[in-house]
Amino acid sequence: MPVRAGSWRPRGSENGSSDAALAGAIRRGDEEAFARLYTAYRGPIFRYALNMCGAGAAEDVVQETFLALLRGDRFDAGRGTLAGYLFGIARRHILKRLAVTRLEATAEGDRVIEATAPDEPSPFDDLSRTEAVEAVRAAIRSLPPVYREIITLCELEELDYAAAAGVVECPVGTVRSRLHRAKALLSAKLARDRTWRPALAGPRAGSGRS
């Protein structure tokens, strides 16, 4: 079982006009359009909620996210993608469950990283063994919420920096900073067990973010 959610890629799979058309069809009661949307995004939203607030609340967050769309929350394609819009709704419900108004309050040492800075080696590189999955998940769940969120969005769900910044309502540079810190924390947690050292050694081939 792979660590990454590789079957779902928000980048490059959507555009503003198709997003708006799909959202409009759903508001008009098109059940097929809603089924397509639910099938595409239920898994990513569930995983995001699962990592942020646990299994007990994850399914509730999924249901509340899609109910908000059905109730008529307006999607504006000019402000971002449908993926970002849905993650944003989910985040509001997650924050309620975490009993905080801003995850940023728990962040330490946020610093803007220049856009030209190279990506750091990811702690997910080369981790494909079945026995690795639960240890990685446990390490992610142990991160502070602000870092757990950004590594879930950028590494597990593969949102690009701009999309993630839209979801968490912060500058792209802050996303880069938090992801850099989250990878460092996660690598340190995994490296405590020498079993993971070979998997953490090398950089990702051909990595890059838009």
CATH code assigned at 79: 1.10.1740.10
pTM higher than 0.85: no
Any idea which residue has 């502070």 for tokens?
144
Q: Are residues 110 and 196 in the same domain?
A: yes
pLDDT digits (tens, 9 = 90+) for 89-107: 999 999 988 875 445 445 5
Any idea which residue has 């097929």 for tokens?
32
pLDDT digits (tens, 9 = 90+) for 143-178: 999 999 999 999 989 899 999 999 999 999 999 999
Q: Which of 44, 78, 103 represents a domain boundary (last residue)?
A: 103
CATH code assigned at 134: 1.10.10.10
**Among 123, 129, 135, 136, residue whose Cα is nearest residue 204:** 123
**Among 91, 187, 177, residue whose Cα is nearest residue 139:** 187
Q: Which of 60, 82, 103 represents a domain boundary (last residue)?
A: 103
Q: Which of 103, 131, 147 represents a domain boundary (last residue)?
A: 103
* Domain-located, residue 5: no
Question: In the chain, which stretches have pLDDT less than 70?
Answer: 1-17, 72-73, 77, 100-132, 193-210
13, 74 Cβ separation under 8 angstroms: no
What's the token pair of residue 95? Answer: 């924050």
Dihedral, CA of residue 192, residue 198, residue 204 and residue 205, to nearest 10: 180
**Which domain, by its residues, includes 188?**
106-200
| Distance separating alpha carbons of residues 39 and 179, to the nearest angstrom | 28
